[in-house]
A and B are shown apart, each in its own frame.
Chain A
Amino acid sequence: MIGAVLIPGAKAPRLIEKEDLARMKPGSVIIDVAIDQGGCIATSRPTSHSEPTFVINDVVHYCVTNMPGAVGRTSTYALCNVTLPWLLEIADRGIEQAARELPPVGRAINLFGGEVTNRAVAETFGLKYSTSFADSLKKS
């Protein structure tokens, strides 16, 4: 069983309850890839690469939170392939011009000048959400 239900920015929906495990055969395996978002299986709890699994009701649970870290070389190349073009844009234009000219960069800015510029982050913690950065992009 692979738990692959990921909803960006939200907690993963719980799709399997503890009593459902009884339907699985002894020695079955659950890999909960959604563990970073809380997991989609009731019996999941985060584990690490040094101790990746635990057993509940004869079902092996694997809930490692940073799976890509273990295959660091593949992951480094996969990540850098997509980040480098954006890094070059930001370095070449400067952050304010990049945010103004490239909407994805603007959306990526979570903090600016001591203020929280991402609405979801601000609302999660009841912090002040600042639109001044977004407003300054529109004006100029």
Chain B
Amino acid sequence: MIVGVPREIKQDEYRVALLPVGVEELVRHGHQVVVEAGAGLGSGLADHDYLRHGCEMVSSAEEVFAKADLVIKVKEPLPSEWPMIRDGQILFTYFHFAADRPLTEALRDAGCTAVAYETLADDRGRLPLLTPMSEVAGRMSIQEGAKYLERPQMGRGILLGGVPGVAPANITILGGGVVGANAAKIAAGFNANVGLLDINMDRLRYLADVMPPNVDVLFSDRHTIRDQLAGPTW
């Protein structure tokens, strides 16, 4: 099979769908790989990192789509990419079709096979190709929150972890799933006061067992949320 990797063109998208090790593995399995020049640059991966493992490098997305039996991407194809998609071609990427009727109809009419990361569910209903991005977003949310609590960013001027003699920030996390649990772990590491809220008692019991002592695991209802919003007096 010929596997194609175009450069992502959505604004602020710096990811790429295949690492150089992916080229090596595919080639070892007897496949060919076509990569668009510059596809990895946003992630700090140079063209020669791919080339040395035996891929073909082409200068345009058109060439990738024209050659590939299977195109692997990160984001859904944008309208400029729709005309490149061929009947019977396999696309393996995030689509989120339910949020985008024109995308759904265009790709249906193109006759491609759309294999969506977001609905690849295991037998327990988990979504293994969504989980890592939820982990990233959850952990990153605390980093961003810390930044925007700074006064020049219009924030209150609070250091997340406080200092000896001065209280740390209070962080409330609504939802104890993958995003919330990862946020809580990083927030706790910053030494913030953390409230982690969920409505699933089994999940709360689990979180109470695994979270550090500066995370209060709380049942979520309207009153708890309001109390958390107000926070302690300082």
Interface residues of A (CB under 8 A from B): 1-6, 8-9, 15-16, 20-21, 23-29, 31, 33-34, 36, 40, 48-50, 52-53, 55, 60, 62, 64, 66-84, 86-88, 90-92, 94-95, 103-105, 107-116, 118, 120-121, 124-125, 127
Contact = CB atoms under 8 A, between A and B. Distances in A.
A112 B16 CA distance: 25
A28 B171 CA distance: 10
Contacts, number: 271
B98 A81 contact: no
B153 A53 contact: yes
B101 A125 contact: yes
A15 to B, nearest CB: 6
A92 B92 contact: no
Contacts of A72: 13-15, 42-44
Interface in B38-56: 40, 42-45
Interface of B: 1, 3, 10-19, 21-22, 25-26, 29, 31, 40, 42-45, 70, 72, 74-75, 88, 90, 92, 95-98, 101, 104-105, 107-109, 111-117, 119-123, 127-138, 140-142, 144-145, 148-149, 151, 153-158, 171-180, 183, 187, 220, 225-226, 228-231
A100 to B, nearest CB: 14
Contacts of B173: 2, 4
Contact of A66 (B13, B19, B116, B148): B13
Contact of B98 (A4, A31, A60, A120): A120
B16 A3 contact: no
A16 to B, nearest CB: 7
B15 A68 contact: yes
B22 A80 contact: yes
A23 B229 contact: yes
B108 A115 contact: yes
A105 B140 CA distance: 29
Given A76-B16, A83-B117, 10 more contacts: A1-B228, A34-B175, A53-B153, A75-B132, A86-B120, A87-B22, A87-B26, A87-B92, A108-B116, A125-B101
Given A88-B25, A92-B29, A108 B117 contact: yes
Please classify the interface of chain B as helix (H, G, I), strand (E, B), loop, or mixed, using the class held by over half of its residues.
mixed
Contacts of A74: 136
Given A27-B157, A88-B29, A105-B115, A67 B141 contact: yes
A78 B25 contact: no
A69 B15 contact: yes
Nearest to B121: A107
Contacts of B180: 2, 4-5
A81 B180 CA distance: 22
A60 B97 contact: no
B14 A69 contact: yes
A111 B117 contact: no
B113 A23 contact: no
A1 B22 contact: no
A3 B179 CA distance: 9
B115 A90 contact: yes
A86 B92 CA distance: 10
A124 B151 CA distance: 44
Given A62-B144, A68-B137, A78-B133, A6 B177 contact: yes
